[in-house]
Chain A
C-alpha cells in the first residue's frame, strides 16, 4: 500500500493548491453574487458555481482528514444547496455569513499547509450558517412538472438542482422547450457549444442529455431542456439549423402563477456577529509592497552615502569619528539587509502557482490539438518575485503552446517514431545563484534546423545558409520568424518567439533554446529572483558611468593591448581555452567611434545563459546596491539599457541590460 500512501502525500500538496484555487474562485463568485444582490438580482449560475466549489472542497478535505475544513464546507454547502434550490432566500445576512465562512475557510486551508496544524474552533461559524438555513424553510412545492410531459429518461437524469431550475422556469411563466440536436461525434463539442451559447442569450439551458445517435459510431444526439420567454417560432429562428428540432413542452404559454417566487434580497436584521476578524492573514496590494521596497531602496542608498562619507572622513584625517561612523553604518547595513530580506520574502511565491496555471493550458491546448500530452513538474517550490511570476506567465504560455503545436507530434506520428503516443512536457525550476531557472522541455520532434535555416534565408534574415547549428537555433527568436507550414490557431502568426524573448528580457531575464532532432527541445528561461534591489558593478567607459548587474558579471581581467586579435573584423581575446569576443560600449552605444588606445585595460567578462562577452571598460569603480528604475516608454526601444539607477550621490547612471547587449552583439557583430 506504500504506493498509495506516497501518492496521497503528493496529492495532499495538490489538495492545498486546489483548495486555495477553489477558495479564490469562491471569493470572486461571492463578490459577484453580492453585487448582483445589491442590484436586486439573483444569479442562479453563480450560486450553483459557489455550491459546486464548497461541494468539491468538502469532498477533498474529507479525503485528507481535514475534518474542520470538511465540516465547515459541508455546512456552507448545505446553506448554498438550500439557496440554489430556492429553500432559503438570499438576504444580506446570508451573504455576510457566507463571506465570513469563506474567510475562515481560507484561514483553515492556509494552516492546513503548516506542519504544526491546530484544529480551529468552527462551532460559532457553523451555528451562524445553521441559523440561516433554519430561518426560512419553505414547504416542498408540488411538482407542476407532470403536465410538461417529460419522458422518464429525461426526468430520471435531472439532478436535484436541474429539477429545481426547471420548476423555477415554470413558475416564472417561461415556456419550456425540448430541443433535439444531432451532431457528428467528431465535432459535437464545438457544435453543442455554439448552440448553447445561442440559447443562453435567449433563456436558460436547464439540462443537456446526450443519447446515442442514428449511426452509433459517427453521431450523437442531445436533448436540451430550455426555458425561455420566447415563442416556438422565435426559438426556431434563433437556432436556424437543419439538424435541430424545437418542441414546446406542455402546450402554449402558461400564465405566470400568482405566487411568483421573488428572489429579491430582503434586508434581514443583522444576526449577532463579532466584529473581530477570524482570519490571521492580510491581503496586501502588491503596489504597497512596491512602495515599501522603494523606501528600503532609498534607505540602502542613504547607507551608501554614509559609508562613502565615512571613507572620505578617514582620508581627510578624522580617523576616530570615521571609525565610529563606519561601525554605525555597518550596524545599519545589517538591519537594512534584514529589512530588505523581509520585504522581499513577502513578495516571493512558489513557481508552483505558475505551473498549475500552465497545467490547465496544457490540458486545453492538447485537447484542441488532438494530441496526448502529459505534464510533469519539478521544483514547484522554488520561489520567485510575485511580479516576475505574473509577467512570465504569458511568455511561458506561448512557449508551451509552441511545444504542443510544433514540438509534440500527433499520437499516430509518435507511434510511428517508436515513441509513447503520449507526449511529455516537463516543467522544472531551480535556483542558480541569484537566478531562478525555469525549463520547459518536450519530447517531441525537436526543431528542424535545416528548415529554420532555409526559412530564415528565404526571409532574408541571414545572408547565406552557411551558419552554425547553434546560431541557427537562435534565429527562431528573430521578429517575424515562424516555421509552421500552416497558420495554427494556437501559435498564431503575429506573435512569435521574438516577443517571448523581448518580454523575458524586460524582466532582465534570458531565454535560450536547445534542440535534439527526434528527441525534443528545451527552452531555458533564466530570471533574476527579484527585480527590486540588485548588486551592481559600477564601471566607467569613455567618460560615462554605467551599472552592470553583478549577477551577470563572471570575472574582470586586465588585458594588454597586444593580446587582442582580430577575427572576421571582430576584436577577440583568448580567455583560457575559449575565444572571447570583445565589445566596446562607446562603439555599441555610438557615443564614440574609436577608443582603446591604452596599453592595458580592464575587460569585464559578462555572461547570460551560455553566452559570454568581454566588455572593455576604462575603470572599475566598485560594487553597490542599486534600485533599478524604469526609464519610461520613450526609451524602451533602446537596446542594451534596462533602466536607470541613483548612486546615492545625486548622480543618475544607466543600468546595462547584459542579455540584450549580448544578443545584439552576437547578431550585429558589434
Chain B
C-alpha cells in the first residue's frame, strides 16, 4: 500500500484530508500535525506522496518543501501544497521550490482524489 504523508496543523482540515483519501481505500496515511513532525516521520516511513499546508508553526510548508527537494532520499517524492488563496506569494514560492501541485482551501475532494490517482495510480 502506498503511503501518503499529510502535514497540516489544523485537526479538522487534517481529518478531512484523511477521510477524503481514506474513502479511496487504496492508501495508507501518515499524519503530521506540524512541519516538525513531518521531518521526524520522513526517515521512518517510506513515503510515496506528501501533502503539506504552508502556514504551520515551527517548520513551515516552504521549509519542508525545500528540505524534501534538497534531500537525495526524498527529492523525487511528489508533493502537493494545500493552502488558502490569500498566500499567493507563498504559493508561488512553493511551486518554485518544486511542489508538483497545489490545491486551494476549501479544496475539492474529487480534485484531490483525482490528483492523487494521477501521481500514485
Contacts and interface: CB of A to CB of B under 8 A. Distances in A.
B50 to A, nearest CB: 14
A409 B14 CA distance: 26
Contacts of B72: 212, 216
Interface in A37-58: 52, 55-56, 58
Interface in B16-50: 16, 19-20, 22-23, 33, 36-37, 39-40, 43
Contact of B13 (A60, A189, A209, A363): A60
A157 B67 CA distance: 10
B71 interface: yes
A611 interface: no
Contacts of A153: 66, 70
A158 B86 contact: no
A36 interface: no
A188 B106 contact: no
A78 interface: yes
Contacts of A63: 13, 16, 105-107
A264 to B, nearest CB: 28
A1 interface: yes
Given A160-B89, A212-B71, A18 B23 contact: no
A211 B67 contact: yes
Contact of B43 (A52, A62, A159, A185): A185
A415 interface: no
A210 B67 contact: yes
Contacts of B59: 208, 210
A160 B90 contact: yes
Nearest to B43: A185
B43 A217 contact: yes
Contacts of B55: 52, 55-56, 159
B93 to A, nearest CB: 6
A211 B106 contact: no
Given A11-B12, A55-B84, A210-B39, A157 B66 contact: yes
A189 B39 CA distance: 9
Nearest to A207: B63
A11 B96 contact: no
A7 B16 contact: yes
A52 B66 CA distance: 22
Contact of A59 (B23, B67, B106): B106
Contacts of B93: 156-159
B80 to A, nearest CB: 15
- Which interface class (under 10, 10 to 19, 20 to 34, 35 or more) fits B? 35 or more
B19 A189 contact: no
A62 B104 CA distance: 11
Given A159-B60, A208-B63, A216-B73, A8 B19 contact: yes
Contacts of B9: 56
Interface in A53-82: 55-56, 58-60, 62-64, 70, 74, 77-78, 81
Interface in A538-555: none
A62 B15 contact: no
Identify whether the interface residues of B are mostly helix, strand, loop, or mixed: helix
Contacts of B20: 4, 7
Interface in B101-118: 105-107, 109-110
Interface string A1-15: 101100110110011
A292 B37 CA distance: 47
Contacts of A133: none
Contact of B66 (A8, A185, A209): A209
A406 to B, nearest CB: 24
A367 interface: yes
B5 interface: no
A159 B54 contact: yes
B22 to A, nearest CB: 7
Interface string A199-230: 00000000111111000110010000000000
A509 B107 CA distance: 46
Given A81-B86, A209-B67, A211-B70, A14 B62 contact: no
B97 interface: yes
A407 B96 CA distance: 47
B100 interface: no
Contacts of A159: 54-55, 60, 62, 87, 90, 93
Contact of B10 (A59, A78, A185): A59
B65 interface: yes
A56 B10 contact: yes
B66 A55 contact: no
A197 to B, nearest CB: 13
B63 A157 contact: yes
A3 B22 contact: yes
A77 B83 CA distance: 14
Contacts of A156: 62, 66, 93, 96-97
Contacts of A8: 16, 19
Contacts of B40: 185, 188-189
Nearest to A65: B106
Contacts of B10: 18, 56, 59-60
Given A4-B19, A55-B86, A160-B87, A18 B65 contact: no
Contacts of B66: 153, 156-157, 209-211
13 contacts: A8-B19, A14-B15, A77-B86, A153-B66, A156-B93, A157-B97, A159-B90, A185-B40, A185-B43, A188-B40, A212-B72, A217-B43, A220-B39
Interface of A: 1, 3-4, 7-8, 10-11, 14-15, 18, 52, 55-56, 58-60, 62-64, 70, 74, 77-78, 81, 153, 156-160, 162, 185, 188-189, 207-212, 216-217, 220, 359, 363, 367
Given A11-B12, A63-B13, A212-B73, 7 more contacts: A70-B106, A156-B96, A157-B65, A189-B40, A207-B60, A212-B70, A220-B39
Q: Which 9 A-B pairs have the closest CB atoms?
A: A7-B19, A3-B23, A62-B106, A212-B71, A59-B105, A63-B106, A157-B66, A157-B62, A210-B67
